[in-house]
Structure 1
Amino acid sequence: MTAPASPLTITVEQPRLDAMAAAPFRATLDPLLVDQPDRILLDLTPVGFIDSTGLGVLVSMLKRMGPGGRVAVVGAAPGVRRLFELTRLDSLFRLCDSEDEARAILA
């Protein structure tokens, strides 16, 4: 039996994931999602602000992964984490305190 492949790691490079950053970020995601990865480690460390448009891009990413897709989020700033919790998206995106924790969840 072979070990599962490592999860795809995606780092958001912008300090804001909002309406202005959504289209370029979606364009960055498109080629990464062609093969429908089943696990993504999403690093939001640089992101200090996210709005509903940014959340929409992330939900779209999860949908494109298919029915078994799982996403673990690391580096979410307190305000970003709070938005995931308020919108209950923390039930779809696992919020992790470290990359090691995220990798363990996705193993």
Structure 2
Amino acid sequence: MDLSTKDRPGLRIVKVHDSRIDAAVAIQFKDKMRDVTQDGPKRVILDLSDVTFIDSSGLGAVVAAMKLLHGAHILELAGLTPVVAKVFKLTRMESVFKIHDSVGSVLARMAS
């Protein structure tokens, strides 16, 4: 599971560089999310624009990552591909997470 981070004032962007978040990588994803978010800014944007498939284990790992932040951080999602967006909609997780069209749209709103 390959994640990268970029910090902006008050914001950490975590990008997933894999096409799948599934049972094979769910635990590794959760552990890496904990590692890359524990010392950063309060607001965390998870960029899923490279993810084309997520299963229930992957969805559970994203929820677990949110819970690991213990309310000290806010986890938001960006760049959901159509298949991934459909999973979040079918499971009603779009009501749990704030979802942005893209990281660019978040940064543009912050700049204005």
TM-score, reference length from structure 1: 0.79
Q: Which residue of 2 aligns with 1:14?
A: 18
Partner SS, residue 45 of structure 1: coil
Of 90, 96, 101, 1:97 maps to 101
Distance 1:95 1:85 in 2: 11
2:75, 2:97 within 8 Å by CA — same for their partners in 1? yes
1:70, 1:93 within 8 Å by CA — same for their partners in 2? no
Q: Which residue of 2 aligns with 1:65?
A: 69
Q: Which residue of 2 aligns with 1:48?
A: 52
1:71, 1:92 within 8 Å by CA — same for their partners in 2? no
Partner SS, residue 85 of structure 2: helix
Of 83, 86, 91, 1:87 maps to 91
Partner SS, residue 20 of structure 1: coil
Distance 2:78 2:21 in 1: 15
Quote the RMSD (CA, aligned, Å).
2.2
2:10, 2:42 within 8 Å by CA — same for their partners in 1? no
In the alignment, structure 1 residue 28 sits paired with structure 2 residue 28? no
Give 1:30 deviation, angstroms. Answer: 2.5
Give 1:54 deviation, angstroms. Answer: 0.7
Amino acid corresponding to residue 46 of structure 1 in structure 2: D
Amino acid corresponding to residue 88 of structure 1 in structure 2: R
Distance 1:64 1:27 in 2: 10
Aligned residues: 102
1:16, 1:50 within 8 Å by CA — same for their partners in 2? yes
